Amino acid sequence: MRLASRARPGSFFRALLFALLPATCTAQTAHDLVMGRELAFTGAGLGTSGIGLVLRRSNARRPAPMIAPERVPGIDRWSTRQWHPRAHRASNVLFVGTVTASFAGGFVLQGDERPFDAAAITAESFLLTSGLTSMAKELVRRPRPYRFNPDVPASMHYPREDFVSFWSGHAANTAAVGFSLAALVQRSDASPEMKGAVWAGAVAAPVCMGYLRMRAGKHFLTDVFVGALVGTAVGLAVPYFHRTSESIITP
């Protein structure tokens, strides 16, 4: 069976770094940290993660959901014919690369003035998205596409991972950190060209991630679409609530 066409995640990672890091090196953002607000966002992320963990343990004692190919919507059936381990590995490389670039971009963004603020805001976006994703996966318990594919050997089935397809955590977290950084840069003194480059990277990363996750047989189209949508919403919302009074008065 043909596994995959050649993927070059390293090239994409380098392009993403060039798009994000140089664009933030000279900028200063109009965001700040307040103890009560940071505790609220961090608590929400940890709380939803905790709920997801409790549900996961509870689901381990429940019967596995039924595998019913006829229930797969037409828009999602393409994924049931996919199984490409190289695409899976490429998606993991892209995930690590995007998260690293986003945190590094946030750290560099502030320069010598409050260097951890932007990275902390991005971390809160990541934590909250991860928690919501964990909870949703265990509540929905959707079988992954490869469970519908007869070409996938039974040895590749893992009971604790086979029924957490909805929604895609890779797509959600990639979107969250990318759009969080883009929102921070948008309210900075960076040039329009720099802001455009960061927004382009924020959009490109989850789009590529979604394709790789579907190609790998790990997620349906609806999984990656909803995941990217949730991650985008969180990634934009968390920096929004960290605006300084000056940035609210002067957009």
Cis, peptide link before residue 78, omega less than 30° from 0? no
- Whether residue 152 lies inside any domain: the answer is yes
- Whether residue 75 lies inside any domain: the answer is no
| Burial of 68 per CB tally in 10 Å (0-12, 13-18, 19+) | exposed
- Whether residue 106 lies inside any domain: the answer is yes
Q: CA of 27: how far to CAs of 54, 113, 209, in Å?
A: 42, 11, 28
| Burial of 245 per CB tally in 10 Å (0-12, 13-18, 19+) | exposed
Q: Provide block-wise average pLDDT over 10 residues at a time, the chain (251 residues).
A: 39 46 54 93 97 96 92 96 96 96 83 78 97 98 96 88 96 98 90 92 97 98 98 98 67 45
- Whether residue 47 lies inside any domain: the answer is no
Query: What per-residue confidence (pLDDT) applies to 2?
Result: 34
- Whether residue 14 lies inside any domain: the answer is no
- Whether residue 183 lies inside any domain: the answer is yes
- Whether residue 157 lies inside any domain: the answer is yes
For residue 182, the enclosing domain spans 88-251
CA atoms within 13 A on the CB side of 37: 15
- Whether residue 97 lies inside any domain: the answer is yes
Query: What per-residue confidence (pLDDT) applies to 186?
Result: 92
Structural domain total, the chain:
1
H/E run at residue 67: none
- pTM for the whole thing? 0.86
Query: What per-residue confidence (pLDDT) applies to 233?
Result: 98
